[in-house]
Amino acid sequence: MTATQDQPAPVMIRLEGVTKRYPGQSRDAVEHLDLEIRRGEIVVFVGPSGCGKTTTMKMINRIIEPTSGRILLDGEDVTRTNPDQLRRRIGYVIQQIGLFPHLTIGENIATVPKLLGWKRDRIAARVDELLRVVGMPPEEYRDRYPKQLSGGQQQRIGVARALGADPDVLLMDEPFGAIDPITRDRLQNQLLRLQAELHKTIVFVTHDIDEAIKLGDRIVILQEGSRIAQYDTPEQILTAPANDFVVDFVGRGASLKRLNLTRLSEIPLRQWPTIPVGETPARALELLRSVEEGALLVLDPERRPLRWVMADDLRRGGERGLAGIGVSAAGTVEPHATLADALNELITARYSAIAVTDGDGVYLGVADFDQIQEAIHDMRAAAVSESRAGLVSGG
């Protein structure tokens, strides 16, 4: 993922004073843009319609030629190199997929390796490898035609094709824009998994701030003319927006969105007094008197949470045993749950805390409102001190 602040990754794409004015227009679509994109990061361009996102992205592989300015790829000025050669070094994925309908899936993926003159065996091996990378068994899909696939599958082939010749850079222009929300979520997750393995430099264009927050190591929020309103991590954009434009663009609920960025595993879990379900209510009352908490968490013999019991439950219904009193401790969460997931469970939980369990349902600790509030407080403090230290650019 991202390099640490002590050791920033080298710049992979640098735009220097890049300007685009379309013929016959009186204004620049992109006005003198300076931007650096580091190797191995996913940088998402987001902004209102017409602000110049697509124009900016297409200048990187020179599908659109800049009017002025320079573009450097891995330190090399590519503003005047042969655009065909340039495009073979940069994978490109678009919304309307653009698979060749008369070619099989395998032939589609093989497009760039073929252009580069790879040997037949190497191409075949690469096609199968890429089909596996995007989670589509080669035997099943290699020989089909694009129209025999769903929209989401076609989009995955679009990604596989863009990765054909193992380019360092991938440009993705609203690749999941036309896809239903559930498939879109799956494709986003797959892209993140793929990136964790491949470490490409990815420039991703979207209208959707939530998609930007989910995918971006950094986000560039653009205003008209591709002017940078803020270029920052999702955390900073949500917690320390640089100006009113960013506040408006991110919209209401920035703090709630921020909760999606932290997982329970990143915050200290609270340890709660627990009691095995086989214990007597009298023993439970005794334990409850000796702790600060107002309830005990009853665990089954496999240490899975069963019930929350309070002193009143124990006094009133004691003869039923610990399994039959108190309120259900169902609605547990696992450590990879985000704070948003945890908050969601807390709101509907029968008790004011929820148990956190491992994959087998075994008790690990609890999360409650106080912890989430504390986590939000820490995020704010971290964002403010980071802004003050000027560690990230504000555009």
Ligand X SMILES: Nc1ncnc2c1ncn2[C@@H]1O[C@H](COP(=O)(O)OP(=O)(O)OP(=O)(O)O)[C@@H](O)[C@H]1O
Is 348 an interacting residue with respect to ligand X (CB under 6 A)?
no
The C-alpha angle 304, 310, 316, rounded to 5 degrees, equals 115
Q: How far is the CB of 98 from ligand X (least distance, A)?
A: 16
| Residue number with CB closer to ligand X (30 or 329) | 30
| Residue number with CB closer to ligand X (31 or 128) | 31
Is 122 an interacting residue with respect to ligand X (CB under 6 A)?
no
Secondary structure, 3-state, the chain: CCCCCCCCCCEEEEEEEEEECCCCCCCCCEEEEEEEEECCCEEEEECCCCCCHHHHHHHHCCCCCCCEEEEEECCEECCCCCHHHHHHCEEEEECCCCCCCCCCHHHHHCHHHHHCCCCHHHHHHHHHHHHHHCCCCHHHHCCCCHHHCCHHHHHHHHHHHHCCCCCCEEEEECCCCCCCHHHHHHHHHHHHHHHHHHCCEEEEEECCHHHHHHHCCEEEEEEHHHEEEEEECHHHHHHCCCCHHHHHHHCCCHHHHHHHHCEHHHCCCECCCEEECCCCHHHHHHHHHCCCCCEEEEECCCCCEEEEEEHHHHHHHHHHCHHHCCEECCCCECCCCEHHHHHHHHHHCCCCEEEEECCCCCEEEEEEHHHHHHHHHHHHHHHHHHHHHCCCCCC
Q: Give one word for 233, left, alpha or beta, with left for phi > 0 and alpha for psi -120 to 50.
A: beta
- Spell out, one character per residue from 190 to 209, where the chain touches ligand X: x when CB under 6 A holds, - when not: -----------------x--
Choose one: 51-59, 150-158, 319-327, 348-356; the region binding ligand X (CB under 6 A): 51-59
- Number of chain residues interacting with ligand X (CB under 6 A): 12
Is 52 an interacting residue with respect to ligand X (CB under 6 A)?
yes
| Residue number with CB closer to ligand X (55 or 230) | 55
Q: How far is the CB of 89 from ligand X (least distance, A)?
A: 22
| Residue number with CB closer to ligand X (25 or 348) | 25
Q: How far is the CB of 97 from ligand X (least distance, A)?
A: 16
Dihedrals φ, ψ of 98, to 5°? 70, 30
Q: How far is the CB of 78 from ligand X (least distance, A)?
A: 20
Is 53 an interacting residue with respect to ligand X (CB under 6 A)?
yes
Q: How far is the CB of 81 from ligand X (least distance, A)?
A: 23
Is 51 an interacting residue with respect to ligand X (CB under 6 A)?
yes
Q: How far is the CB of 214 from ligand X (least distance, A)?
A: 18
Choose one: 49-57, 69-77, 124-132, 363-371; the region binding ligand X (CB under 6 A): 49-57
Answer yes or no: are the C-beta atoms of 237 and 230 closer than 8 Å: yes
CA–CA distance, 243 with 230 (Å, rounded to integer): 8
Beta-strand pair 42-46/30-38: unpaired
Choose one: 48-56, 102-110, 160-168, 176-184; the region binding ligand X (CB under 6 A): 48-56
Is 100 an interacting residue with respect to ligand X (CB under 6 A)?
no
| Residue number with CB closer to ligand X (47 or 146) | 47
| Residue number with CB closer to ligand X (20 or 161) | 20
Is 49 an interacting residue with respect to ligand X (CB under 6 A)?
yes
Q: How far is the CB of 137 from ligand X (least distance, A)?
A: 35
| Residue number with CB closer to ligand X (21 or 39) | 21
| Residue number with CB closer to ligand X (47 or 395) | 47
Choose, by CB under 6 A, the member of 32, 36, 54, 376 that binds ligand X: 54
Contact set for ligand X, span 7-46 (CB under 6 A) = 22, 25, 29
| Residue number with CB closer to ligand X (52 or 234) | 52
| Residue number with CB closer to ligand X (24 or 390) | 24
| Residue number with CB closer to ligand X (64 or 103) | 64
Contact set for ligand X, span 355-374 (CB under 6 A) = none
Q: How far is the CB of 248 from ligand X (least distance, A)?
A: 16
Q: 227 pairs with which residues across the strands? A: 223
CA–CA distance, 318 with 310 (Å, rounded to integer): 11
Structure tokens at 143: 């020989």
Binding site for ligand X (CB under 6 A): 22, 25, 29, 47, 49-55, 207
